[in-house]
Amino acid sequence: MGSERQEGRRQTRQLALVLAAVRAAGTDHPTAEEVFSRARLELPQISLGTVYRNLQRLVAEGRVAALALRGVRSLRYDPTIAPHDHFVCEVCGRIDDLACGPRPAAVAVAERKGHAVTSHAVVLYGRCGACRMPA
């Protein structure tokens, strides 16, 4: 195992750059547009379509994670593929990574109902430390 990557897929500069851009964002959870902006610094002629295609591929290959958040139209990308949860500040929009504890209790409930659970997402919403300050 471990060789399932790059079957007939080609290694292009654009792909490397998109991955690098997601990683460079650290814990910022960038949107495709933000990845695009960053990749452009190195390769000005890269196109947004290519960024989307490569993000899709990286997610499919499990090298990057995508997250859908309530109340936000665009997907966010995350270089941290180790399982973890997220906290979203409803005031400033900041997304904070959280070390995930044990698997959610809901997993056992789902399995008892006959479902096979392959992954899960836990997202918390509220006010972050900075946004709790009085106006």
Residues contributing to the site for DNA (CB under 7 A): 8-15, 31-33, 43, 45-50, 52-54, 56-57, 73-75
Place of tokens 């060789």: 3
Considering only residues 60 through 79, tell me which ones interact with a second copy, judged by CB under 8 A: 66-72
Report yes or no: 47 and 76 within 8 Å, Cβ to Cβ: no
d(CA 25, CA 124): 21
Q: Is 9 in the site for a second copy (CB under 8 A)?
A: no
Min CB(83)–DNA separation in Å: 22
- Which token pair is 5? 């990557």
Q: Counting contacts by CB under 8 A, is residue 24 touching a second copy?
A: no
Select the binding partner of residue 85 from DNA, a second copy, none (C-beta < 5 to 8 A, by kind).
a second copy
Question: Please, what's the b/e burial string for 40-61 (b: 16 or more CB within 10 A of its CB; e: otherwise)?
Answer: beeeeebeeebbbebbeebbee
Q: Which positions lie near a second copy, rule CB under 8 A? A: 66-72, 85, 87, 89-90, 96, 98-102, 104-110, 113-129, 132
